[in-house]
Chains A and B, each alone.
Chain A
Amino acid sequence: MMKCLCALAALSLAAGPALAEGKCTSAPKSKWQPRSALESQLQADGFSIRQIKVEGGCYEVYATDKAGKRANMAFNAETLEKLDNAEAGEN
């Protein structure tokens, strides 16, 4: 049983980083895309923006989509690439 659990733990540790897609940038703020660029990108995608804040090397966005559904997203501040998980930015 213990052997099983250890193997499982090792597997999940090894698989962890590979599964997490995208991460926040570690580049200095001078390399970041301006907030306005993210705003235009989001507006083009039909989002109404409620709030954009900086979380580490990410922009965290509170918005509603075309259908009015609430969305909480994180974007790499250097590339404006969307992270799979909004919470990944909150570290």
Chain B
Amino acid sequence: MATIRVWDPFVRAFHWSLALSFAVAWLSGEGPERLHELAGYAAGALVIARVAWGFVGTGYARFSQFVRSPAAVVGYLKSVAAGSERRFVGHNPAGGAMIVALLTSLAATAATGWMLTTDAFWGSILLQRAHSVLAHGVLLLALAHLCGVALASLRHRENLVRAMVIGDKRAPEPGDVA
């Protein structure tokens, strides 16, 4: 089976590091505080690095390759519902929207978390709530992301989790979107 390199080493290392950072930050939300802060800073730094890579990185890592209009995302989701969606070698339109949503909500979660350690917002009930709501939002998005990965893997008979580890995917076939 012909394969092509899709996810570069940066994208893969970033993906799993971010998943780990968020998991650690989530589990340490009630302490230990030092660990929670460390995980939050790591997540924030990873998001910043990924955003930069989205502009200067390799082909499939670029935002211009996978961020589509809301109309295109809705159109793609309709085709999924109809069971007629095409296979994308890179991120499909819904996956692209998920990445934007995850990066944005993670950035906001990390930013509010950092703000809570500053004199200005120390002990702020409102900001603590915002931080908590954002973190729960990230968790929900991550779960939806897992469902999307599982669905796309089944529909196109490919292991997308493995692809994010190895970096290679099945080469595009007729009808696929390269």
5 additional contacts (CB under 8 A) given A62-B122, A62-B123: A50-B124, A51-B125, A53-B125, A64-B122, A70-B122
A63 and B31 within 8 A (CB): no
User: Nearest 3 A-B pairs (CB), nearest first?
Assistant: A62-B123, A50-B123, A87-B31
Interface flags, B106-124, vs A, CB<8A=1, else 0 = 0000000000010100111
Whether B175 sits at the interface, judged by CB under 8 Å, is no
Sample (18) of A-B pairs whose CB atoms are under 8 Å apart:
A50-B122, A50-B123, A51-B123, A51-B124, A51-B125, A62-B122, A62-B123, A63-B123, A64-B119, A70-B117, A70-B119, A70-B122, A86-B33, A87-B30, A87-B31, A87-B33, A90-B31, A91-B30
Whether A68 sits at the interface, judged by CB under 8 Å, is yes
Q: How far is the CA of A68 from the CA of B31 in the complex (A)?
A: 24
CB distance from B29 to the nearest CB of A (A): 9
Interface flags, A15-34, vs B, CB<8A=1, else 0 = 00000000000000000000
Interface flags, A29-65, vs B, CB<8A=1, else 0 = 0000000000000000000001101000000001110
Q: Interface on chain B toward A: helix, strand, loop, or mixed SS?
A: loop
Closest to A70 in B: B122
Query: How big is chain B's contact interface, by range?
Result: 10 to 19
CB distance from B123 to the nearest CB of A (A): 3
Q: How far is the CA of A68 from the CA of B120 in the complex (A)?
A: 11
- Which residues from chain A contact B117 at a C-beta distance below 8 Å? 70
Q: How far is the CA of A90 from the CA of B31 in the complex (A)?
A: 8
Whether B174 sits at the interface, judged by CB under 8 Å, is no
- Which residues from chain A contact B122 at a C-beta distance below 8 Å? 50, 62, 64, 70
Whether B32 sits at the interface, judged by CB under 8 Å, is yes
CB within 8 Å of A: which B18-73 residues = 30-33
Across the interface, B32 reaches (CB within 8 A) one of A62, A63, A87, A91, namely A87
- Which residues from chain B contact A62 at a C-beta distance below 8 Å? 122-123
Q: How far is the CA of A21 from the CA of B125 in the complex (A)?
A: 28
- Which residues from chain B contact A70 at a C-beta distance below 8 Å? 117, 119, 122
